[in-house]
Amino acid sequence: MSDPVYLGFDLSTQQLKCLAITSNLKVLHEVKWDFDADSTGFNVKKGVITNVEDGEVFTPVAMWLQALDGVLDGLKSTGLDFSRIKGLSGAGMQHGSVFWSKDAERILADLDPLKPLENQLHGALSHPHSPNWQDMSTQKECDEFDRYLGDEETLAQTTGSKAHHRFTGPQILRFQRKHPDKYKHTARISLVSSWIPSIFLGKFAPIDISDVCGMNLWDILQKNWNEKLLELCAGDFGVEELKQKLGDVPEDGGATLGSIAKYFVTRFGFPPDCKVIAGTGDNPATILALPLLPNDAIVSLGTSSTFLMSTPQYKPSPAYHFFGSPATQSHFMFMLCYKNGGLARERVRDAINNTHSMTDAATWEHFDRALLETPPLAQTGPQDTMKLGIYFHLPEIVPHLPAGEWHYEYEQQLGTLIRTKSATNPPNDDARIIVESQFLSMRLRSQSLLQSPGSGLPPQPRRIYLVGGGSRNKAIAKVCGEVLGGSEGIFKLDVGANACALGAAHKAVWGVERKSDQSFEDLIGQRWSPDAFIKKIADGYQKGTYEKYGEALKGYGQMEQELLKEYARE
Ligand code: XUL
């Protein structure tokens, strides 16, 4: 066996993963390092350190180096012949930043192949920690960002998103005020996705064209840093210095950044011509896990939920996120990100399981039965009101509401809402109402981007691909099709939890093997075999049901507006 092999790394909150695939996209090996279980010497819980008082959530960068040592050793012990590795790329959790010192490039270029990475890079950092996307410490800075160009609409129009706590611009602003000395001694600021290729290259890698949109600093349409936002972010240190720290951003997501550093050639046996391809964010990498067509959607049902689409339209709003596409320069990535996903559903599951004696606390059996046996919108007949609810055990990003649970009945003929204390038959009806409400929120926010898939059908996705833990649940997939449609149905992407590592590996294959301007979709589309990777698990569009949820959507939108008004007053 001497076929080329490509590596895709995924550096996420709780794990570092690596997938090794062939040119024909066959997965050969998968190696994982779990920060809580496998790391030594770092006091992390679920991969992070939390300073509750200030709302800070961060990660020791040295822990990632230890993980990289471990994953590369792990890959060696699979027996993989490293001389076959022709390229690699990485996916990094979005928004996180790494602050490199002025000595960093010298240290990176001169690593001792007899020693692991962890012991050698202390001096390469001006700050030992990377702020994590769960950080909540930047409300003041976010308010400044939202105001600086006029209002949050203008910020969203320019950068693809209004200001968010986790976005790197507000994070850097807070950092330079809190640690002016460290900021001054910072030579470069990487995102997690550009930190990975920096290590492999032995020099600073540029920030990626898609992941840069998670900073609130990049003008998406101009494809340039926004000078005014840099001015706010840099404060007294000045725009030029910050620009140097951020570096240039190449437009081509498939760009080869260079060949692998000699450290990895000597220590692990990588070939000296192994190419390092630009990394990208974990969400942009997820849409590279398959040749996603415009009007197809990926719904990731993990601890949090995300809804992702690739689209040629740029229609930003403070209610969601737009990013540049990681691979197709004329396209954008649309993203909804919810904090209340799997854990919120688990709370309803637990309440239902508590009504059954002698049941396995983690079983979904009773939840699924309640979900399927309760009619859509918990309506007992066509004249009955539609039951709606919102279940947020954490403060939510969209709609921006505090933690809480709210119940309503929607009288569709009159278009009126009545607030109720609970569902009519709690907790069983809650199974239906929570799942519907999560998908109704996605439908509400994505509808203006969707087109008719043809044959006179109403606008809706062509296919919906489910990924993440929740994609195993067929009952949830069925309701997903009822609410969100999908003219060809609901599919499960078999790589499930590895979608971003696979997307990164695909990016490496495309970056190295593409013919001059061959698109990602073309190259991956030719090699990708749907039979091996996807399985239809539920029907999508069902005439009548989809339209009924279209009616419910009016009530759902009103319910959100009413709650937003109520909580804006507080
Ligand atoms: C997206 C976001 C998370 C992180 C970690 O905006 O904050 O999805 O990328 O997965």
* Residue 524 main-chain phi, psi, to 5 deg: -70, -40
Distance between start and end Cα atoms, the chain:
65
Q: Which of 121, 122, 120, 80 is nearest to 268 (CA)?
A: 80
Atom 1 of ligand 1 has which residue's CA nearest to it? 94
443 lines ligand 1 (CB under 6 A): no
- Residue 281 Cα: closest atom of ligand 1: 9
Determine if ligand 1 sits within 6 Å of the CB of residue 32.
no
Closest CA to 276 of 214, 324, 206: 206
Instruction: Judge if the beta carbon of residue 337 lies within 6 A of ligand 1.
Output: yes
Helix, coil or strand: residue 401: coil
Contact (Cβ atoms closer than 8 angstroms) between residue 246 and residue 189: yes
CB of 282 sitting under 6 A from ligand 1:
yes
Closest by CA to 174, choosing from 140, 221, 134, is: 140
What phi, psi does 416 have (nearest 5°)? -115, 155
3-state secondary structure of 99: strand
Q: 387 in ligand 1 pocket by Cβ < 6 Å?
A: no
Residue among 450, 527, 566, 38 at smallest CA distance from 290? 527
Distance CA 400, CA 122 (A): 39
Question: If residue 408 lies in a helix (H) or strand (E), which one and from where to where?
Answer: strand 404-411
The pTM (predicted TM-score) of the whole model is 0.92
The DSSP secondary structure of 121-143, one letter per residue, reads -GGGBSSSEEE-TT----HHHHH
- Within 8 A by CB and 6+ apart from 28, the residues are 5, 20, 21, 22, 80
Alpha helices of 235-381 — where are they, by DSSP H? 239-246, 262-268, 282-286, 342-353, 365-373
Structure tokens at 67: 């993980």
Residue 14 CA to ligand 1 center (angstroms) comes to: 13
Report pLDDT for 569.
57
Q: For a substitution probing ligand 1, which of 162, 298, 337 has the most ligand atoms within 8 Å of its CB?
A: 337
Counting beta carbons within 10 angstroms of the beta carbon of residue 273, is it exposed (0 to 12), middle (13 to 18) or buried (19 or more)? exposed
| Residue type (1 letter), 328 | T
**Closest residue to atom 7 of ligand 1, CA basis:** 133
Give the pLDDT score at 252: 96
d(CA 363, CA 322): 37
Q: Which atom of ligand 1 is nearest to the CA of 304?
A: 8
Confidence at residue 516, expressed as pLDDT on a 0 to 100 scale: 87
Tens-place pLDDT, residues 420-442 = 999 999 999 999 999 999 999 99
Number of the ligand 1 atom closest to the C-alpha atom of 133: 7
Residue owning tokens 């197709």: 328
Whole-number Cα distances in Å, 487 to 198, 295, 518: 43, 10, 29
Under DSSP, the state recorded for 274 is P
Candidate of 138, 166, 303 to mutate for ligand 1, largest count of ligand atoms within 8 Å of Cβ: 166
Query: CA 246, 217, 225: angle at the middle one, nearest 5?
Result: 65
- Residue 568: its pLDDT value, please? 85
Q: Which residues of the chain have pLDDT under 50?
A: none
